[in-house]
Amino acid sequence: MEEGGAQRAEDATPGILKDIDRMIDVVNRGWELLSTGRRAEKVRVAISNLVDQENDTDLVMDVLLTRRKSKGKFTDWERLYFTSSGLRWATPGVAAEHCARRMECGRIADLACGQGGQIIAFSRRCSEVVAIDKDPVNLFIAHLNCIAVGADNVDLICGDSLSEAVSDRVGDADHAFCDPARPPGSEERTLSELLPDPRKILERYSDRVKGLCFEVPPYLSLDKIPFPCEAEYVSIDGRVNRLNLYTGDLARSASSAVVLPGGERLSGEARSLGPGRVDPVEVGSYLHELDPAVVKAGLVWKALGGKDSPDLIALDRRRTMLSSEEDVVSPFFRGTYRYMGSAEDISTMIEMLNERGVGSVTLRWKMDPSDYWPVRNSIESKLKGKGKVQIFRYEDRYLIAEKVRPIHIKDGR
Ligand SMILES: C[S@@+](CC[C@H](N)C(=O)[O-])C[C@H]1O[C@@H](n2cnc3c(N)ncnc32)[C@H](O)[C@@H]1O
């Protein structure tokens, strides 16, 4: 293939990957065997008898063994295809659907489509999808996924999105989406590490489309983003999952937060609130753990109805609590707890827990994972009751609290 050129998916793939029907048959056979309880080694032998090359067997086995793991990301996982690395980078179904709803249009381009997590959702909301990836294997798997969900409005192109050949093929799309590849384990998360680099994509496509969305790592600092955009933090089940940067006609406000799966949304100017220091002895009867997407978006003030100096407790980088006397129900709280008191050391805490009939504790402060169970077991070995509590750390005290509602229960049940 010509450097930077654009090829159709089926022309760019080697081995079994050339024959999509055969790949589907072989995966179906393997899945049938696995689903009826056949051990992976036996399935591997059966697959190797159906394909010509060892690396084709590896690929099929990877797809088969990854399928069960995709259950947490996709509702229709049983019919989808991902390799282990493709699944790791795939946009989860609920986030893909949210993005597709926001970007709904006639013709959409996915400029780094990977194995197709996002294009499945686009194909349901847009009339035409043009999907590009420079990796032929990823593109082949994306093609399998389009067939699996009956998406017949997707044009798959193997090539470099930054090349003229590809941008010419994209043509006059309404919107474009780009979820760039990122180096695993990188802490710094700068734009220049992302492939393709969003700044280069903007250069090539901003005059061609009305708006773009970049899906970037949520820990990327906003002051490293040199173009005007709406920064939308998305959480799934109370954890920050992604940061979407919308440009052009897709940008509707400076900052926003969306909590999935419910889809509740806040938008406005990001404001830093303090936090208002709360003395542990003055903590109110309830503690509400704010959804981290709302905190990262600087929209806590909005979640609290415009209140400028709420009783906020910043426990650590990931956890911010609101203290209140009354119970409050909000989709923007990932949990609500009844506050039971605080202790300045572990032995006082154990006394308090025994007075309250507690037998089990969940430790909710940042610690080395290898310390978690030794510390918890040591506390629980001294407890005599049956109740369950959560222990948070705030400054040098332990806050004891009982769960009232888990994440995203809206009506107080
Ligand atoms: C994070 S993955 C995309 C995952 C996708 N959103 C999904 O839901 O499956 C990033 C993809 O960008 C592709 N890529 C990197 N640089 C590219 C470029 N210049 N042109 C096209 N694709 C590129 C990689 O091959 C990789 O498949």
Task: Write out pLDDT tens, residues 275-303.
Answer: 556 676 678 899 999 999 999 999 998 88
* Domain total in the chain: 3
Q: Which atom of ligand 1 is nearest to the CA of 177?
A: 6
Task: Please identify, among 39, 68, 97, the residue that sits at the C-terminal boundary of a domain.
Answer: 68
Per residue in 17-62, pLDDT (tens digit) is 678 999 999 999 999 999 999 999 999 999 999 998 888 999 999 9
From the CA of 382, how far away is ligand 1's center (Å)? 52
* Pair (236, 366) in one structural domain: no
Per residue in 198-223, pLDDT (tens digit) is 999 999 999 999 999 999 989 888 88
- The β-bridge partners of 358 are 387
pLDDT of residue 412: 34
CB 117 near ligand 1, within 6 Å: yes
Q: Is the model more confident about 166 or about 222?
A: 166
* Pair (106, 219) in one structural domain: yes
**Is position 382 within any domain?**
yes
* Pair (143, 207) in one structural domain: yes
**Is position 272 within any domain?**
no
Instruction: Determine the longest span between alpha carbons in the chain, in angstroms.
Output: 74
Q: Flag whether pLDDT at 15 surpasses 80.
A: no
pLDDT of residue 341: 92
* Pair (33, 93) in one structural domain: no
* Pair (367, 307) in one structural domain: yes
From the CA of 112, how far away is ligand 1's center (Å)? 4
* Pair (260, 121) in one structural domain: yes
**Is position 273 within any domain?**
no
* Pair (94, 195) in one structural domain: yes
Domain limits at 28?
Answer: 6-68
* Pair (106, 240) in one structural domain: yes
- Residue 325 sits in a domain of what CATH number? 3.30.2130
* pTM of the complete model: 0.90
**Is position 410 within any domain?**
no
From the CA of 134, how far away is ligand 1's center (Å)? 7
* Pair (243, 147) in one structural domain: yes
* Pair (225, 107) in one structural domain: yes
